[in-house]
Amino acid sequence: MKVKNVPALDWDLCGKLIEKEKISLVRSYSRWTAFYVGPRADSKEAEQTADTAIEAVVKYFIEKKLGEEI
């Protein structure tokens, strides 16, 4: 049985991504939301919610770069 090697996501990688993309993170109860608010308050480019902050950041980045429907 072969075991796939799953890359680890860590804050070193995501921290750089958060700074570069100017991503905001908000915790609401047990979920995290990652988003970017531009110069105008109504100009959200993308928004993703997930169980962990890192997952929300990665999902947001993917949506921003590739669109809502992949």
**Domain total of the chain:** 1
Q: What's the pLDDT at 12?
A: 75
Range of the domain at 32: 10-38
Q: What is the pTM of this model?
A: 0.72
Structural domain includes residue 45: no
Tens digit of each residue's pLDDT, the chain (70 residues): 555 555 556 677 788 888 888 888 999 888 999 988 766 655 566 789 999 888 899 888 888 888 777 6
Left if phi > 0, otherwise alpha if psi is -120 to 50, otherwise beta: which for 45? alpha
Does any domain span residue 1? no
Task: For residue 62, count other CB atoms closer than 10 A to its CB.
Answer: 13
Is the Cβ–Cβ distance between 37 and 24 less than 8 Å? yes
In a domain, 43, yes or no: no
Looking at the domain assignment, is residue 25 inside a domain?
Answer: yes
pLDDT score for 33: 93
Half-sphere exposure of 23 (CA within 13 A, CB side): 30
